[in-house]
């Protein structure tokens, strides 16, 4: 593996799916105690205006997380999405919505777009299985 090559734990599939996200509220932090449980409680992302709420489109999707981007004006929400921030994400697959709690691994502007890298921290087993089915049916990222 070359020095600049990134190690990936999961294959990534190129896909464009709307992602709705918001910061995890302080009173929701105890939900992270559910990590490792098969059906942990995952909060919803309410549609509509709220502090830090943004809509993005996936660049690629894996079992471990999402790479997504949105319009540059979303950069105004960047204070909520710094590296290490914990957020709630929701996106629709053909068989229903998937919700997860994720950690921001990278964020910033690139090519006139606002980009985020998100690593899943908390996701139900059923959502994970549906995500796995979806990812494995897509062409791998090149």
> Which CATH number does the domain housing residue 20 bear?
2.40.10.220
Q: What is the pLDDT of residue 108?
A: 84
Beta 12-14 vs 54-62: how paired, if at all?
antiparallel
Bin 53: left if φ > 0, else alpha if -120 < ψ < 50, else beta. Answer: beta
**Does residue 46 form part of some domain?**
no
Boundaries of domain holding 118: 12-41+54-136
Per the structure, the count of domains in the chain is 1
Tell me how crowded residue 65 is: count the other CB atoms within 10 A of its CB: 23
In a domain, 2, yes or no: no
Q: Report pLDDT for 4.
A: 37
Global pTM reads 0.82
DSSP 3-state percent helix, strand, coil across the chain (nearest 5)? 20, 40, 35
> Within the chain, which residues score under 50 in pLDDT?
1-6
132: three-class secondary structure by DSSP: helix
Residue 4 is assigned to a structural domain of this protein: no
Q: Is residue 48 in a domain?
A: no
What are the strands, taking DSSP E only, across the chain? 12-14, 18-23, 54-62, 65-71, 86-93, 96-110, 113-122
Counted residue by residue, the chain has a size of 142
pLDDT of residue 86: 94
Per-residue pLDDT, 52: 82
Q: Give a yes or no: residue 83 inside a domain.
A: yes
């Amino acid at each position: 593996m070359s020095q600049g090559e990134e190690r990936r734990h999961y294959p990534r599939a190129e896909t464009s799916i709307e992602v709705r996200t918001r910061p995890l509220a302080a009173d929701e932090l105890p939900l992270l105690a559910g990590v490792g449980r098969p059906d942990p409680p995952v909060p919803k992302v309410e549609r509509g205006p709220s502090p830090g709420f943004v809509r993005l489109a996936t660049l690629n999707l894996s079992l471990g997380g999402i790479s997504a981007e949105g319009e540059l004006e979303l950069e105004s929400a960047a204070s909520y999405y710094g590296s290490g921030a914990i957020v709630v994400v929701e996106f629709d697959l053909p068989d229903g919505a998937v919700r997860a709690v994720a950690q921001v691994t990278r964020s910033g502007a690139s090519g006139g777009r606002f980009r985020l890298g998100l690593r899943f921290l908390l996701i139900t087993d059923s959502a994970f299985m549906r995500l796995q089915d979806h990812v494995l049916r897509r062409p791998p990222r090149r």
